[in-house]
């Protein structure tokens, strides 16, 4: 049985978070559809707010602390990424962009991506096409054609809003799942390890 690894990135700041709620629903639908197609699916969800300090420190020191390094490694090793951000000032959040900036841009090349966003009004839904999609296009990812925006009216337990959101989630997750089926682009090779000068010197003298 082939396996697929999905990393879910939620940039919500609240607890509970509507961004996390949307991310969970997208992941559940994608996992269900891939499982129905015969794939073993593993899903890891990352709340970016939990590593916000580590992300900021990485910009200052140029060093990724262990927890941040683990998340970066998980993203780079995944077959697909579900990325959901709240909308601030008509764009993705600063926390979301900061995490993307600490990644090696080449590490996302060819990965399947499903985009989602949440906001307080439907006027923000174009953030998917005018902010998030261009960002991931620049990173050369394979993006699902449908992105999902969820506003306050979508979270009702019944009615047209909830039904419409469920339909969008199922469609977008289906497109994302299709990107993950069949042969996948080759993963980027692991970066070369930089050894201290003393170890390099010892290795050279040991061969003489």
- What CATH number did the domain enclosing 64 receive? 3.40.50.360
Residue 146's closest CA among 171, 126, 127, 122?
Answer: 171
> What's residue 43's pLDDT?
98
Task: State phi, psi for 114 to the nearest 5 degrees.
Answer: -120, 125
How many beta carbons lie within 10 A of that of residue 103, not counting itself?
Answer: 14
With a cut of 80, say whether residue 200 has pLDDT above it: no
Name the DSSP class of 125.
T
Range of the domain at 29: 3-207
Give the tens place of pLDDT for each residue, 71-113.
999 999 999 999 999 999 889 999 999 999 999 989 999 999 9
Give the tens place of pLDDT for each residue, 121-140.
777 889 999 999 999 999 99
Total tally of structural domains belonging to the chain: 1
pTM for the whole thing?
0.86
Q: Confidence band (pLDDT; 50, 70, 90) for 47?
A: very high
- Using DSSP's 3-state secondary structure scheme, residue 206 falls into helix
């Amino acid at each position: 049985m082939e396996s697929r690894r999905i990393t879910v990135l939620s940039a919500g700041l609240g607890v509970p978070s509507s961004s996390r709620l949307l991310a969970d629903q997208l992941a559940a639908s994608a996992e269900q559809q891939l499982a129905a197609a015969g794939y073993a699916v593993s899903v890891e969800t990352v709340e970016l707010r939990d590593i916000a300090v580590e992300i900021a420190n990485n910009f200052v020191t140029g060093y990724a602390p262990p927890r941040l390094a683990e998340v970066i490694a998980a993203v780079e090793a995944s077959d697909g990424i579900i990325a959901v951000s709240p909308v601030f000032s008509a764009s993705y959040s600063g926390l979301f962009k900061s995490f993307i900036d600490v990644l090696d841009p080449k590490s996302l090349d060819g990965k399947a991506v499903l985009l989602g966003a949440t906001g307080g009004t439907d006027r923000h839904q174009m953030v998917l096409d005018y902010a998030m999609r261009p960002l991931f296009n620049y990173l050369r990812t394979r993006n699902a054609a449908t992105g999902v925006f969820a506003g306050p009216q979508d979270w009702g337990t019944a009615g047209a809003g909830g039904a419409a959101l469920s339909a969008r989630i199922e469609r977008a997750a289906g497109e994302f799942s299709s990107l993950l089926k069949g042969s996948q682009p080759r993963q980027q090779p692991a970066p070369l390890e930089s050894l201290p000068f003393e170890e390099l010197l010892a290795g050279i003298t040991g061969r003489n």
